[in-house]
Amino acid sequence: DSGFWHQDSFLGGPMRLGAAVKSVNREVGIMNHLMGAGGPHWCEDPVVDRENQAFNTARALIRIRRSCYPLRTELDVAAGDGAQLAYWKMHDGREDMLIEEQPLGMLVVLSISPEPSIEARKYRLPRSLRYTEGQAFIDLLHPQRLAMVFTSSNGTFLLVPAELDPSHVSIFAPVETAVKDLEGSDWMVCRGVSLPPLRDTCKETARSDMWLTAGLVILWIV
């Protein structure tokens, strides 16, 4: 039966494989039957956990990308030193996005190491970026982390503070282009773009609406 050919992301499915999210991983199992008509609504399904760090980080990354134009261009410049995947995302000069609130370049750092880093790192600025010494950058995902542009005899760099987490994602933008996203959110986005509010579809969906849907399905079957 094709119902056994895939991994399911709901409690009633027959094949619930392991997950990186602990609360979801607790529901792991392979059943000998397909899903019946019962089971919890997806808003109450423990396999569809929307309170974990992975979900919140993905939601933040989507909103950051929508607000920061350089993240959506095809222009990037490598900035890593071999121990990290790091690159600059560059503005491509699109006229309607050449506004003061938008950054001209952003540094993305993906760090996966067995041990935390206790030393600051520096990343060379692309020559097309004219940020001067003293320019502050802020990590949009972790606004408590600030980086600073400095100039030395062999070029201009962005100095990033040490990272205490072994696995980490950072997206640095000039501090004046960043703004807090939503009340209660712990990330920032780029200025100059209007983002839609976050929707809670579970709160918007009344239980009476679900009973109406179920009744119509029963009438259609009968």
pLDDT in tens, 151-187: 998 899 999 988 767 668 899 999 999 999 987 788 9
Average of per-residue pLDDT across 11-37:
70
Q: What is the C-alpha separation between 17 and 30, in angstroms, rounded?
A: 8
Q: What is the pLDDT of residues 197-214, one digit of tens each?
A: 877 777 666 554 555 555
Residue scoring higher pLDDT (65 or 82): 65
CA distances from 16 to 13, 30, 40 (A): 7, 6, 15
Q: What percent of the chain has pLDDT over 90?
A: 40
CA distances from 169 to 42, 51, 94, 141 (A): 29, 19, 27, 8
Q: What percent of the chain has pLDDT over 70?
A: 77
Q: Lowest-pLDDT range, 71-85, 87-101, 202-216?
A: 202-216
Residue closest to 170 by CA, chosen among 138, 193, 195, 192: 138
pLDDT recorded at residue 170? 92
SS3 string, the chain, reads CHHHCCCCCCCCCCEECCCCCHHHHCCCEECCCCCCCCCCCHHHCCCCCCCCHHHHHHHHHHHHHHHCHHHHCCCEEECCCCCCEEEEEECCCCHHHCCCCCCCEEEEEEEECCCCCCCCEEEECCCCCCCCCCCEEEECCCCCCEEEEEEECCEEEEEECCCCCCEEEEEEEEHHHEEECCCCCCCEEECCCCCCCCCCHHHHCCHHHHHHHHHHHHHHHC
Highest mean pLDDT among 4-8, 37-41, 156-160, 213-217: 156-160
Average of per-residue pLDDT across 30-43:
65
Whether the predicted pLDDT of 127 surpasses 80: yes
Would you place residue 54 in the very low, low, confident or very high pLDDT band (cuts 50, 70, 90)?
A: confident
Would you place residue 142 in the very low, low, confident or very high pLDDT band (cuts 50, 70, 90)?
A: very high
Residue with tokens 């996966």, as numbered in its chain: 112
Whether the predicted pLDDT of 220 surpasses 80: no
